[in-house]
Amino acid sequence: MIKDKNQDKKKFKLNILGDQFTVTGEFSEEYINKLADHVEKTGREIKNTYPKLPFRRLSHLTMINLADEYFKLRSQCIDLSKEKERLKEANQSLHQELKKLRQENEELNTLLEEVE
């Protein structure tokens, strides 16, 4: 039996910035609503700043703002990932140093006990 790829997809009717349309995908309703709310919020902020902006320009500016937000967050994520690796390496180095110092401390305590 051949399975239709669209069989598992759901349709969602959205209204963003007064424009109604349908999206189809394998999303939860909660997830698609979060996306739509975020786009709506971003568009409303622009609309409040430029109330006479034509819808097409508003849509374009909203897309640009969302892309900007995405790239900034992606860059932060990459930076944090690099920082995590750097800290991981520093942590391993410190653990090795601690192990070495504990061993030296043990040796010194042993010498001290022999002297006493």
Confidence bin at 115 (pLDDT 50/70/90): confident
Domain count across the chain: 1
Per the prediction, the chain carries an average pLDDT of 93
Are the CB atoms for 57 and 43 separated by under 8 Å? no
Please give the torsion angle defined by the CA atoms of residues 79, 39, 37 and 44, in that order, rounded to the nearest 10 degrees: 120
Does residue 1 have a pLDDT over 90?
no
Q: Answer whether residue 22 is part of any domain.
A: yes
Does residue 4 have a pLDDT over 90?
no
pLDDT tens readout for residues 46-57: 999 999 999 999
Q: Answer whether residue 111 is part of any domain.
A: no
Half-sphere exposure of 71 (CA within 13 A, CB side): 6
Q: Tell me the average pLDDT across 56-66.
A: 97
> What span, in angstroms and rounded, lies between the C-alpha atoms of 67 and 38?
12
pLDDT tens readout for residues 16-44: 999 999 999 999 999 999 999 999 999 99
Residue 8 is predicted with a pLDDT of: 75
> Residues of the chain with pLDDT > 90: what percent?
87
Q: Answer whether residue 105 is part of any domain.
A: no
What range defines the domain where residue 26 resides? Answer: 5-83
Q: Answer whether residue 100 is part of any domain.
A: no
Residue 5 is predicted with a pLDDT of: 61
